[in-house]
């Protein structure tokens, strides 16, 4: 679909990303990202303010390439991480999708999300929620994610947060 994205197509792109995470099809999920993609979850520096500059302030996750995401996805299914065995079950809901900017080659989107996370080992559950900012970029084979910023509103983390939970 190497053509201009309609707002409806763009929103569906976000739903498909969430779907791949929920189905734990992590290799396909990583393939949505450009090789120089930035994936960023800021930390918070006060009650009201998330961190703004990843070079001088702390983030929860800051991955500056698809390679870094591949590392993380590899770990999830490596059987070498007790925090990932068993994997939690998740259900994402993405909503309130707003097109901030639409050009021929890029599109910027904002949305809200919740993710219900169920830990089968302890039969415990938690809801993470926040907002997404996506930059989609046109590439030869279609559209990919060049940048994703996740603002996590409830950042006091119950034991574990991993990429597929948010």
Partner 1 sequence: MSKKDIASLVDDRPEDGVFRLHRSVFSDPEIFEMEMKYIFERNWVFLGLDSQVPHPHDYMTTTVGRHPVVVMRDGEGNLNAFINSCPHKGARLCHLAQGNRKIHVCQYHSWSFDSAGRIRGLKFKDDGQYSPAFDNDSHDLAALPRFEVYRGFMFGALSADVLPLSEYLGEARTFIDIAVDTSPQGLELVPGVVGFTFEGNWKLQLENCSDQYHFTSTHPSYLKVLDRRAEKGWEGTVRANVRGRGGRKAMQFPADGLEHIAGGSTSFEHGHNLNWNRRTVNDSHPLFERAEELKERFGEARRDWMFNTRNLTLFPNVQVAENASSQLRIIRPISVDRTEMLTYCIAPVGESAAARAQRIRQYEDFFNPSGLATPDDTINYEDCQDGHLNPVSPWLQGHARGMMLAGPDGDPFIDRLGVKALSSVIGGVELGDETIFHTYYRSWRALLQAGQRADEAAARSQPAPASARLVETVR
C-beta of residue 44 within 8 angstroms of C-beta of residue 51: yes
Out of 22, 24, 34, 81, the only residue in the binding site for partner 1 (CB under 8 A) is 81
Instruction: In whole angstroms, give the CA distance from residue 20 to residue 118.
Output: 17
Using CB under 8 A as the binding criterion, the count of chain residues that bind partner 1 stands at: 43
Out of 15, 24, 74, 129, the only residue in the binding site for partner 1 (CB under 8 A) is 74
Q: Are strands 33-42 and 142-152 parallel, antiparallel or unpaired?
A: parallel
C-beta of residue 120 within 8 angstroms of C-beta of residue 88: yes
At closest approach, how far in Å is the CB of 74 from partner 1? 7
One character per residue 2-31, x = contact with partner 1 (rule: CB under 8 A): ------------------------------
Subset of residues 128 to 157 that bind partner 1, contact rule: CB under 8 A: 155-157
Q: For residue 166, give the nearest of 43, 59, 21, 13 by alpha carbon.
A: 21
At closest approach, how far in Å is the CB of 61 from partner 1? 5
Q: Does 41 sit near partner 1 (CB under 8 A)? A: yes
Q: Does 80 sit near partner 1 (CB under 8 A)? A: yes
> What is the torsional sign of CA 16, 18, 20, 23?
negative
Q: Which stretch binds partner 1 (CB under 8 A): 13-21, 25-33, 39-47, 94-102?
A: 39-47
In angstroms and rounded to an integer, the radius of gyration of the C-alpha atoms of the chain is 16
């Amino acid at each position: 679909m190497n053509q201009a994205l309609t707002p409806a197509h763009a929103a569906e792109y976000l739903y498909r990303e969430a779907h791949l995470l929920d189905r734990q099809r992590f290799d396909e999920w990583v393939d949505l990202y450009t090789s120089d993609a930035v994936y960023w979850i800021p930390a918070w520096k006060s009650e009201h303010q998330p961190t703004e500059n990843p070079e001088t302030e702390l983030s929860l996750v800051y991955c500056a390439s698809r390679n870094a995401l591949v590392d993380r996805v590899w770990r999830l299914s490596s059987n070498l991480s007790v925090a990932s065995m068993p994997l939690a079950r998740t259900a994402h809901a993405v909503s309130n999708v707003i097109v901030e900017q639409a050009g021929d080659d890029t599109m910027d989107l904002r949305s809200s999300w919740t993710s219900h996370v169920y830990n089968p080992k302890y039969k415990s559950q938690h809801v993470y929620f926040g907002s997404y900012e996506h930059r989609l970029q046109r590439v030869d084979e279609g559209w990919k994610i060049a940048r994703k910023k996740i603002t996590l509103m409830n950042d006091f983390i119950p034991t574990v947060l991993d990429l597929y939970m948010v």
